[in-house]
Amino acid sequence: SAVISQKPSRDICQRGTSLTIQCQVDSQVTMMFWYRQQPGQSLTLIATANQGSEATYESGFVIDKFPISRPNLTFSTLTVSNMSPEDSSIYLCSARDGKNEQFFGPGTRLTVL
């Protein structure tokens, strides 16, 4: 199974600023994803991070707000731009190794004041 680490684990940010979350997988994986979990809500897929090309965003999420990079098969970043209190959430990086199992990082708890 893949082990996923995320940085930072938590942050408190001022509205209008941006935060970049890093995700590192300990092995090469075919697919990487970014999810958001708001309080009491389900895990909502933000986008699929594609290696070497633009991410594929889900309905309701746009590149200008959540730019994503994936320069190689083990690393990805998610930026939350121009933050507002509504962006306060747990952001989760996830990866799939070609089988059906999908693994998650520990999450980044973001609070926007």
In the complex, the residues that contact other proteins under the rule CB under 8 A are 1, 4, 31, 40-45, 48, 92, 94, 96, 100-107, 109
CB of 4 to other proteins, least distance (A): 7
Q: Which is nearer to other proteins, 73 or 81 (CB)?
A: 73
Do 103 and 13 form a contact (C-beta atoms < 8 A)?
no
Kindly state the smallest distance separating residue 75's Cβ from other proteins, in Å. Answer: 17
Instruction: Quote the least distance from Cβ 27 to other proteins, whole Å.
Output: 16
Query: Which value, in Å, is the radius of gyration of the alpha carbons in the chain?
Result: 13
- Which of residues 46 and 112 has its CB atom nearest to other proteins in the complex? 46
How far apart, in whole angstroms, are the C-alpha atoms of residue 113 and residue 102?
32
Whether residue 13 contacts residue 83, with contact meaning beta carbons closer than 8 Å, is answered with yes
Smallest distance, other proteins to C-beta of residue 95, A: 11
- CA separation for the pair 13, 10 (Å, rounded): 10
The smaller minimum CB distance to other proteins, of residues 42 and 53, is found at: 42
Residue type, 7: K
Nearer to other proteins, 26 or 82 (CB): 26
73 DSSP assignment: S
